[in-house]
Amino acid sequence: MATASPPILGVVGGGQLGRMMAEAASPLGVELVVLDPTPDCPASPVAREQIVGDFDDEEAIRTLAEMADALTFEIELADPDVLEAVEEEYDVPVHPDPATLRMIQDKLVQKRALKERGIPVPEFRPVDGRDDLLSAGEEFGYPMMLKARKGGYDGRGNVPVESPDDVTDALAEVSGELMVEEFVPFERELSVIAVKGADEIATFPVGENVHEDEILRETVVPARAPKSVRERAEEVARDVLSVLSGRGVYGIELFEHADGAISVNEIAPRPHNSGHYTIEGALTSQFEQHVRGVLDYPLGATDLRSPVVMSNILGDVEESQPADLAGVDEVLSTPGASFHWYGKREVRPLRKMGHVTLVGESPTDAADSSTADLLANARSLTDQLTFQ
């Protein structure tokens, strides 16, 4: 293992998560080296160095391990087998545990692991063709959700099946190994950003996620849910942590059912889009927490500073084009608003290009009308950001 000072954290992935991780690591005296296939990736301007290579490039990951005091990843496309091998060969700790990454990469394996521990999840089953999916429809009823077991994100790889007539088209739309879940008529989609240290865990306040077209648009914190529901969501998130091994941040997506019950949707073994609000909204950001956890530093406080809304800046274009954004002055001149640009040179339809955070003036209860006002104002600000 490297013995450099300052500590060097090697990160597989150099997208926006790696960029914000590097920004959070710097005040701690920690430097990042990132591995990413895109030259001059978003993290490269703020990282110590970039290694250009695929996320599963064994030789590139070995080079990363030789340089680092610890390894982590900001994308699930990292290869857990290679990470396990370099962890042993170079005596460099990898967090979260590669075994956890392997489990989370397969949604069916993930759901089975949660169910075996008694953690509430929607009913599910594997799918191997048309007959299996029709049989699931008889069991779960319609609609139901057909999912690719591996690789899907931002709604990609998820297809609703509304009736038996949709089965053939749904199977044609999603490729690879498949599973199907019962449809949950949820009241809200919630998320908890949770972090494991060496001998401590912490959770951030429960967020409420607003999706359109299966893509996260805004996160509202505190979630506009009864206190009892928020407490149950945090309890379930802590139960999820007991299934996962390895230090660092985990994004835990949840459904709030109409009766107030909570079930787990999916888990991300890394900082999560719905946790970006923590940069301005919490005493310690999720990115600093991840660095602390991975390097076995004490965890920071997760208290909320004030009500806060995070709003994604998405590519509002019909086809790829250079990323030339207008309307930033309006955001920067708004009290309580913060602008985050991810440094991507090309904008594509619905690509995440940055985000806006809007904080309230003082701590309030989730039922306070100011939370709704924050959401409306944050949405208005991002609507004014346009690509030329």
What is the chain's Cα-based Rg?
A: 21
In DSSP notation, 87-101 reads: HHHHT--BSS-HHHH
Q: Is 107 annotated as a binding-site member?
A: yes
146 and 16 within one domain: no
Q: Other CB atoms closer than 10 Å to residue 368's CB: what's the count?
A: 16
379 and 298 within one domain: yes
Q: Is 147 annotated as a binding-site member?
A: yes
In a domain, 297, yes or no: yes
In a domain, 238, yes or no: yes
Please write the tens of the pLDDT for every residue from 221-251: 999 999 999 999 999 999 999 999 999 999 9
Confidence (pLDDT) at 153: 66
* Contact in structure between 171 and 133 (CB atoms under 8 Å): yes
> Residue 142's domain spans which residues?
123-182
| 3-class DSSP string for 143-192 | CEEEEECCCCCCCCCEEEECCHHHHHHHHHHCCCCEEEEECCCCCEEEEE
Q: Is 346 annotated as a binding-site member?
A: no
Q: Is 256 annotated as a binding-site member?
A: no
Please write the tens of the pLDDT for every residue from 294-335: 999 999 999 999 999 999 999 999 999 999 999 999 999 999
In a domain, 220, yes or no: yes
211 and 88 within one domain: no
Q: Is 227 annotated as a binding-site member?
A: no
Looking at residue 158, which CATH number applies to its domain? Answer: 3.30.1490.20
Residue 164 CA to residue 138 CA, distance in Å, equals 9
Q: Is 352 annotated as a binding-site member?
A: no
In DSSP notation, 229-261 reads: HHHHHHHHHHHHHTT--SSEEEEEEEEE-TTS-
Residue 105 CA to residue 119 CA, distance in Å, equals 18
Q: Is 189 annotated as a binding-site member?
A: yes
Q: Is 184 annotated as a binding-site member?
A: yes
168 and 248 within one domain: no
In a domain, 168, yes or no: yes
Burial 16-31 (b: 16+ CB within 10 A, else e): bbbbbbbbbbbeeebb
pTM, 2 dp = 0.94
How do the residues of the chain divide into helix, strand and coil, expressed in percent and rounded to 5? 30, 30, 40
